[in-house]
Structure formats: C-alpha cells, structure tokens
Copies of this chain bind each other. A is one copy, B any other.
C-alpha cells in the first residue's frame, strides 16, 4: 500500500499540515489509494532512514519522495492521467504558484496559528515546537504572535487579489475543475480549519464559496476530517 508519512497532533487522527493536505487531495484527484501514516514532529525514524527530514514523505512501492511539491511532480509524471498541472510547462510554473501561496497565505497565517499547532501537540513535542518556532513568529511568544489576529484578517485578504481575479473568471484556480494550485491553497486553509478556530477567509465571499466547493470534493474528505475546533 502507498504510504503518506504525515504530521499529526496528540490525537493521531488529526492531520493538520497544509502540505499533507495538498498531497492527500492530489492522491484523491488521481484516484490513487494510500494510507496516511501519522507521525509527530520528532518521530522521524522511517523518513530519516530513507534520507529525509521533513513531512510529508511518500512511499510509493520502493520509491520514497519528500517535499509536497516534489511529491506532486512525481505523481504527475508517474501517473499522468487526470493532470494536476497540465503538462511540463504547468509543472515548471508550479514553483511560482507555490511561492505565491507561501508569501500571501502561509507566511502571514503561520504566526497567527502557530500557538494552536503547539497546543495540539503532546508536551515533549510542544517544547520542541515552541523553541524552534518562536524565533520565526516576530513576537516574544507564540501566544503574543496570535493576539488580535481577527483584526489582521482584512489586511491579509488584501494580498489575495490574484485568487479573487482567478475565481471571478473561473470556478477553480486551475480552471473549470480543481488541480494542484487549488489543493495548495486548500491545504493552507485546511491547516487553519483542522488545528485552529481562526478563519482568515471570513467575509470574503468568492474565497469562502471556493472553499465550500473544495470541502465537497471526493465525498467531502476535507469537510469530514477530524478537527480540534469545529
């Protein structure tokens, strides 16, 4: 069985990583069966044995692939039916789309929900997470970084013009149907949904309508995923 080694909280059914959600949706998109293998930040035995340090890592038969975008490229080239990118030019351009979602969505959201990720971990893992992530949130503590976050939603949404322009022209970021660009943005939002009560899409009708469509895909896989709040 294909295995996706992916981050989990102290409740191992809770899979919060934005990157694993991008891959879960991609596997469903291509109709490829897989088993999600829940691992915490410090449970790296299997992936380190394969030469990697980060989640998600995919084991597909004898092939190990690490890094969500590299996994998606691997899936596209190995299983070309039901395209995620629409050809080699689409694969090439995916670096830029990943970067857009990183700079306009994941980057701004991380400091605001890092405290929720921390609270979802057991004590020893939480200590590691707090120590390694506090220097990245631009505040004295994870708690301080999240303070007043609802007041930041309007400013964050200002960075989403590109998504709104795309969704005015077409129902999905990838056109008439969803594909990897959609799964990448969905992963970022599902990260919030699964581990946090923060809803940065609130009040943005085009985006929330799109998110609803994404949550309905593949029998409602995203919608029925176990969450901490919700």
Contacts and interface: CB of A to CB of B under 8 A. Distances in A.
Interface residues of A, number: 34
Contacts of A208: none
Contacts of A90: 86-87, 89-90, 93
Given A93-B93, A93-B173, A162 B87 contact: no
A159 B87 CA distance: 27
Contact of A175 (B91, B100, B166, B170): B91
B165 A95 contact: yes
B162 A92 contact: no
Interface in A60-91: 83, 85-91
B174 A98 contact: no
A93 B181 contact: yes
Give the copy number. Answer: 2
Interface in A121-168: 159, 161-163, 165-166
A1 interface: no
Most buried by B among A90, A102, A173: A90
A119 interface: no
Nearest to A99: B162
A72 to B, nearest CB: 13
A3 interface: no
Contact of A97 (B97, B172, B174, B175): B97
B92 A174 contact: yes
Interface of A: 83, 85-93, 95-100, 102-104, 159, 161-163, 165-166, 169-170, 172-176, 179, 181
